[in-house]
Structure 1
Amino acid sequence: MTTQTLPHSATAPNTSAPLIKRIGRAAYRLLERMTERAYQQHKPCLRNNFYL
């Protein structure tokens, strides 16, 4: 078996995004979960007050 050299971009996995992008995605997912949880907790109040 022979050893081949690959360009740097070929050895890095495609999922390795810059740190700021990973932080942004994680923050967005957290915000989505928090928003959904708040909606679920206040759903009865929303239905009664705003007839949703």
Structure 2
Amino acid sequence: MSASPDSRNERVPFMQQLFDSPFLLLIAGLVVMFIFFTGWGLVEIFSLPPATLP
């Protein structure tokens, strides 16, 4: 008599799987920070003016 859908046939969303697994969450956090800081560093390097040598 329940109106809710059958939970066995329902697919679990990706973000719920990510938040349910602490190791996947850790890996995702490390990957995001690695990409962010690497991108930030590359922007800083390419935005530096050329150095004048004495």
Q: Same fold (TM over 0.5)?
A: yes
Aligned-partner Cα distance in 1 for 2:26–2:16: 12
Unpaired runs of at least 5, structure 1 = none
More helix per residue: 1
Scaled by the length of structure 2, what TM-score is found?
A: 0.54
Identity, % of aligned positions: 7
Instruction: Report the CA distance between 1:3 and its aligned residue.
Output: 5.2
User: Number of residue pairs matched?
Assistant: 47
Residue in structure 2 matched with residue 16 of structure 1 by the alignment: 16
1:1-52 maps to which residues of 2 (within 5 A)? Answer: 2=2, 6-7=6-7, 10=10, 13-17=13-17, 18-43=21-46, 44=48
Give the superposed CA RMSD. 3.1
Runs of 4+ in structure 1 over 4 Å off: 3-8
SS in 1 for 2:32: helix
Instruction: Report the CA distance between 1:34 and its aligned residue.
Output: 0.1
Scaled by the length of structure 1, what TM-score is found?
A: 0.56
